[in-house]
Copies of this chain bind each other. A is one copy, B any other.
Amino acid sequence: MNFLLTLAYDGTNYCGFQVQPNGRSVAQTFQDALQAVLGSRPDIKGGSRTDAGVHALGFKLNFHADTRIPAAKLPLALNQHLPPDIRVLDAQVVPEDFHARYAAHTKTYLYRIHNHPIDSPFDAAYYTRVPRHLDEARMQAAAQQFVGRHDFLALCAAGSSAAAHGDTVRTITDCHVTRKGDEIDIEVTADGYLYNMVRILAGTLCEAGAGRLDPAEIPAILESRDRSRAGPTLPAKGLFLKCVEYDL
């Protein structure tokens, strides 16, 4: 049977989702739990990759396994063998040929900013603090400029294999900014992302919010394909993979 699982995790102590030569990954930790529950170690296909320190609210992965454990019982069984910073929220059976990465039509990321001079004592691991006041209307105006099918090379960190292959066109279907008190949330939905794209996009929106960049400059920045014209790469700790969208 092919199981599709939804996970939430705090990425602080992981080198990312994917198994890496150095550092402990979410995938490896999850496979250890599968081994404990199923007695085997099936291949897992992640719906996305998250980098070191990036969190997930609704990560998706699938794996094939022969087990009598019904899907509804898998979350509880696996959570007993997972550390508290990784939780399985849901499990379902999907068609045999379903692949969590290839079947995904879009993915949504959330970037959280705490726009305050002082950190919160509660969740400083889950946002980036920007002390200077940000104008969320300017950020929203800038966000709108990213929506559509564009070459996003200007928002791509060095070392990207997609960039090396000239594969840097993506479609952002939604990008919006909301403020609740001191928290500014940036949400982006796209059919795919380049290396550090959301963190650079968030950094560029902050430049707009701080008045250092005019939202109307964004199309020229994209056209320039010049990373140095976009804003800084914000830290991983403010970034959450919110969900992966499928037609199921």
A contact set with B: CB distance below 8 Å: 8-10, 55, 75-76, 79, 84-89, 117-124, 126
Give the chain B neighbours of A76 by CB distance below 8 A: 117-118
Copies in the complex: 2
Query: Distance (Å) between the CB of A51 and the closest chain B CB?
Result: 17
Return the 5 tightest CB-CB contacts between A and B, nearest first.
A10-B121, A85-B121, A87-B121, A9-B121, A8-B121
Cβ-closest chain B residue relative to A240: B122
Q: Which residues of chain B have C-beta atoms less than 8 A from A75's C-beta?
A: 117-118
- Enumerate chain B residues within 8 angstroms of A85, measured Cβ to Cβ: 121
Complex CA distance for A100 and B125, rounded to whole angstroms: 31
Question: How far is it, in angstroms, between the C-alpha of A143 and the C-alpha of B117 when the chains are bound?
Answer: 36
Q: List 26 A-B contacts (CB under 8 A).
A: A8-B120, A8-B121, A8-B122, A9-B121, A10-B121, A10-B122, A55-B122, A75-B117, A75-B118, A76-B117, A76-B118, A79-B118, A84-B119, A84-B121, A84-B124, A85-B121, A86-B121, A87-B118, A87-B119, A87-B120, A87-B121, A88-B118, A89-B118, A122-B123, A122-B126, A123-B123
Closest partner residue, chain B, to A83 (CB atom): B121
Question: Please, how many angstroms separate the alpha-carbon atoms of A76 and B88 in the complex?
Answer: 40
Please give, as numbers and ranges, the residues of chain B lying within 8 Å of A55 by CB-CB distance: 122
Using CB atoms, name the residue of chain B closest to A55: B122
User: What B residues does A118 contact at CB under 8 A?
Assistant: 75-76, 79, 87-89
Smallest distance from the beta carbon of A183 to chain B beta carbons, Å?
14
Q: Which residues of B contact A126 (CB under 8 A)?
A: 122
Least distance between A77 CB and chain B CB atoms (Å): 12
Residues of B within 8 A of A8 (CB): 120-122
Q: Which of A55, A121, A123 lies at the interface centre, i.e. has the most chain B CB atoms within 10 A of its CB? A: A121
A241 to B85, CA, bound (A): 26
| Whole-angstrom distance between the Cβ of A120 and the nearest chain B Cβ | 7
Which residue from chain B places its CB closest to the CB of A126 in the assembled complex?
Answer: B122
Distance in angstroms between the alpha carbons of A119 and B126 in the assembled complex: 17
Report B-chain residues with C-beta under 8 Å of the C-beta of A123. Answer: 122-123
Report A8 CB to chain B, min CB distance, Å. Answer: 5
